[in-house]
């Protein structure tokens, strides 16, 4: 493909309700969209950075800066574009995986559209729909939490994930189990809120038959996770710690996790996400697809990834209405607890121009 230029578009999408985790509360999702124009058409990528560097070192203003000053010029330099060449073209610039992932996804989307291939088909998807789970934020009270979980189960979600932090862990989990029973697939996500010193406390969660505890410790504490895995019966799943296929292989070898959450933006893109999937499959480690409150653009690509054979647990691929009253694409709708994998070329969806215009904060064009 012959590149013409890249558009950076910042949008602000109000959430249907505040989403609270151990690192903060979001009421509006600040999203950076990357659109590449080529001689053969266009493609989109969604940058999953947050406004502040609280989930990862990356943040939206920083992603815009590194894309503008370094990544986009490096990508637009060669006369031809190929998705597999994006990572090598950007390797001189350290880190910034989320920004790189957005750019690589835009290139991949444009490349696949030009060839009339779908994202899922090209990645190796083996399913035409994926089971959907839902992530439930920290609430002000247990009754409020129970009402929320009841609503999501009524909607048909097949798995419930509860965000936890010190002071909001054992009792909320106990209440959900007592109210809805042992048959509900239930897991918890700590977003690095604990230390190894909390092992005895976290072991109290073992009685509830959880699928997993996600990222209980700091992302760099791989040895601590390995130690914790020996002290609790509930499987340990890593999220923030897994930034590459190499990191996944190391964590598995050290016994730091028995399940992996794959977030394409966090690991640098869908090509690296597929490599992580392959590494985990080779070691018999199940994976699932995490979410970053994506719009329909990012959700479409995640659903396609989650259709690969190693994704054996329901992911955070919720319906659009879980987070947004109005999505910028045609909404993803839950069907018998599943989302359909887009079958159209590229990621299979496109923004609705009027909806995109309503939420746009700024745009910037970077030409060759």
Look at residue 236 in the predicted model and tell me its pLDDT: 98
Q: Hey, what are 155's tokens?
A: 């909607």
Residue 95 near residue 62, CB atoms below 8 Å: no
Q: Hey, what are 241's tokens?
A: 């710690």
Considering the candidates 2, 94, 161, 263, report the single residue annotated as catalytic: 263
Mark whether 263 is an active-site residue. yes
Residue 301 near residue 118, CB atoms below 8 Å: no
- Name all contacts of 74-81 with Cβ < 8 Å and 24+ positions apart: 75/3, 75/6, 75/103, 75/107, 76/3, 76/5, 76/6, 76/366, 76/367, 76/368, 79/2, 80/1, 80/2, 81/1, 81/2, 81/3, 81/36, 81/38, 81/107, 81/110, 81/111
How far, in Å, CA of 92 to CA of 276, rounded?
A: 22
Query: Strand, helix or coil at 204?
Result: helix
Find the DSSP H helices in 238-331: 245-253, 264-267, 270-282, 296-305
Predicted structure pTM score: 0.95
Residue 85 near residue 76, CB atoms below 8 Å: no
Largest CA distance in the chain: 61
Q: Residue 180: which of 203, 147, 132, 136 has the closest Cα?
A: 147
Considering the candidates 2, 94, 100, 163, report the single residue annotated as catalytic: 163
pLDDT averaged over 10-residue windows placed end to end, the chain, 368 residues: 95 91 87 96 97 94 98 93 93 97 98 97 96 95 97 97 97 98 97 97 98 98 98 98 98 98 97 98 97 96 98 95 94 96 97 97 95
Mark whether 163 is an active-site residue. yes
Tell me the domain boundaries of the chain: 3-116+351-367, 120-340
Residue 361 near residue 11, CB atoms below 8 Å: yes
Residue 298 near residue 324, CB atoms below 8 Å: no
The CATH number that domain 120-340 falls under is: 3.20.20.120
Q: Hey, what are 151's tokens?
A: 């609503």
- Given the structure tokens 């609430």, which residue do they identify? 139
Look at residue 141 in the predicted model and tell me its pLDDT: 97
Q: Residue 114: which of 26, 3, 225, 190 has the closest Cα?
A: 3
Superfamily (CATH H level) for 3-116+351-367: Enolase-like, N-terminal domain (3.30.390.10)
Residue 145 near residue 139, CB atoms below 8 Å: yes
Look at residue 115 in the predicted model and tell me its pLDDT: 96
């Amino acid at each position: 493909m012959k590149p013409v230029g890249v558009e950076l578009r910042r949008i602000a999408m109000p959430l249907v309700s505040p989403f609270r985790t151990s690192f903060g509360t979001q009421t509006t999702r600040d999203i950076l969209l990357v659109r590449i124009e080529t001689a053969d058409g266009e493609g989109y990528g969604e940058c999953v950075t947050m406004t502040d560097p609280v989930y990862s070192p990356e943040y939206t203003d920083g992603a815009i800066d590194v894309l503008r000053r370094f990544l986009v010029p490096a990508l637009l330099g060669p006369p031809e574009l190929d998705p597999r060449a994006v990572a090598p073209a950007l390797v001189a610039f350290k880190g910034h995986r989320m920004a790189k992932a957005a750019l690589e996804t835009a290139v991949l989307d444009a490349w696949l559209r030009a060839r009339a291939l779908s994202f899922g088909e090209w990645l190796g998807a083996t399913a035409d729909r994926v089971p959907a789970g839902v992530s439930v934020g920290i609430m002000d009270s247990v009754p409020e939490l129970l009402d929320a979980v009841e609503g999501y189960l009524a909607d048909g979600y097949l798995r419930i994930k509860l965000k936890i932090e010190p002071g909001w862990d054992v009792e909320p989990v106990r209440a959900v189990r007592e109210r809805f029973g042992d048959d509900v697939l239930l897991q918890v996500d700590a977003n690095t809120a604990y230390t190894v010193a909390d092992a005895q406390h976290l072991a109290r969660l073992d009685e509830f038959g959880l699928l997993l505890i996600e990222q209980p410790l700091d992302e760099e504490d791989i040895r601590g996770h390995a130690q914790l895995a020996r002290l609790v019966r509930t499987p340990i799943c890593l999220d923030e710690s897994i930034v590459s296929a190499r990191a996944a292989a190391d964590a598995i070898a050290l016994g730091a996790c028995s399940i992996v959450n794959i977030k394409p933006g966090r690991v640098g893109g869908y090509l690296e996400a597929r490599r992580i999937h392959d590494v985990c499959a080779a070691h018999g480690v199940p994976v699932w697809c995490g979410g970053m409150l994506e719009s329909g653009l990012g959700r479409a690509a995640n659903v396609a990834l989650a259709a690969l054979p190693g994704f054996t647990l329901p992911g955070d691929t919720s319906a659009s209405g879980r987070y947004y009253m109005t999505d910028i694409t045609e909404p993803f709708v839950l069907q018998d607890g599943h989302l359909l994998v887009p079958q159209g070329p590229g990621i299979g969806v496109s923004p609705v121009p009027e909806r995109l215009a309503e939420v746009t904060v700024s745009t910037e064009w970077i030409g060759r």
